[in-house]
Chains A and B, each alone.
Chain A
């Protein structure tokens, strides 16, 4: 089951926990807001990705199913 990270940009307040927990896929821009790596999440990173979505203080980060190519 392929999953992708999505973010509600209006909810996001630039807390930055997601980038701390998942640096392989998320980095912060010059102002502290997340830049997501595109494409499906590698299997071995799924648990961390899930944790990142749960730890977001404003629930802006979420996982969604990758649409079929």
Chain B
């Protein structure tokens, strides 16, 4: 039984450093592609599988509403991975492309979808190569369903509506809803947008009959071996850090959930379970699974200022509050970081953060504001007492 369980991990199989697992090897290890029909929807719903793209939405629920739609659906396989510090999707596409393709084809069959769109980050060259080669190994019938698009290397280009907009209109900007891509997406059809890792889980689930219970995270920052880990349900952040070789030096705090995540004091963070539901109970979000350790020797304020500058620059400039608000917030952070604390900027930041939130056309400003607000709370003293110093380049 435990042998079987070992096989049904995403990263089981050949050494990750030795290149992509080809179709032959994939089938030899896991068996052929199972048949799929509507019953797969029940299996997925019963397994409790949730999305791995950041929203943690129950996959079965999503599938059920797509299945209920009056017209044929389109499956959009989201391999954009716009979060700069996340590496899990890239790794999966590079090393286990057939898991993802299996998941896509199984989903398409279960939902009677008419086509599949592969949306792969334009800078993820190894991933694109790997997925392309893997696709070439599949049957004609499968290949006919698939169209591949490059996801521009911008943060918001990985959003569902931006992905759909790129396919429909040639430009990856987020769009207003209604209608959501779910209702009317690619070519006007109901579109199921699913992260590559989620589909890989579907591929395993369809064979084993139950969810693996694992998830991929990317541990970055002050650890000996930063990178992607596959962790079982219930693993704590402290345990994941140990798997990543332990801390290189004591940490000040941990950023949970990447650039749209929240900062937590290191001591408190290590005990937390890497589980979206458990984290939600603490008012936190796992997001796309990036866990970043901030060494105590680094300046938190400067780190936050750098990330805010990045997020402000990633606004699609379609909405005033986001473009101008995030820029003002980033400028204020930058001034405090470079020139030292001043009460005007501190006060303005609180006001702007409260005003900007919820007033964009997509969730970009919300994510950025929540990131900043958690930083203001967690590093309270540092913000009030920050001395002027020349910022070390990142």
Contacts and interface: CB of A to CB of B under 8 A. Distances in A.
A and B touch in the complex (CB under 8 A): yes
Contacts of B321: 9, 29, 31, 33
A8 B361 contact: yes
A57 interface: no
A35 B360 contact: no
A32 B319 contact: no
Interface string A41-68: 0000000000000000000000000000
Interface string B119-146: 0000000000000000000000000000
Contacts of B318: 9-10
Nearest to A34: B359
Interface residues of B, number: 15
B320 interface: yes
Interface string A8-21: 11111110000000
Contacts of A11: 176
Interface in B352-394: 352, 355, 359-361
Nearest to A7: B359
Taking residues whose C-beta sits less than 8 angstroms from the other chain, chain A's interface range is: 10 to 19
Given A29-B355, A35-B359, A9 B324 contact: no
A10 B320 contact: no
A9 B323 CA distance: 12
Contact of A30 (B319, B324, B361): B324
B239 interface: no
Nearest to B356: A29
Contact of A31 (B174, B320, B360, B361): B320
Interface in B296-337: 318-321, 324-325, 328
B361 A9 contact: yes
Contacts of A33: 319-321, 324, 359
Q: Determine the main DSSP class of A at the interface with B.
A: loop
B324 A31 contact: yes
Contacts of B360: 9
B304 to A, nearest CB: 22
A30 B359 contact: no
Nearest to A28: B320
B320 A14 contact: yes
A12 B355 contact: no
A35 B360 CA distance: 11
Nearest to A8: B176
A49 to B, nearest CB: 19
Contacts of A8: 176, 361
A45 to B, nearest CB: 21
B224 interface: no
A10 B319 contact: yes
B135 to A, nearest CB: 34
B175 interface: yes
Given A8-B361, A9-B361, A32 B320 contact: yes
Given A9-B321, A10-B174, A10-B319, 11 more contacts: A8-B361, A9-B319, A9-B359, A10-B176, A14-B320, A29-B355, A30-B324, A30-B355, A31-B325, A33-B320, A35-B355
Interface of B: 174-176, 318-321, 324-325, 328, 352, 355, 359-361
The 4 closest A-B pairs by CB, nearest first: A33-B320, A10-B361, A31-B324, A9-B361
7 contacts: A8-B361, A10-B174, A12-B320, A30-B355, A32-B320, A33-B321, A33-B324
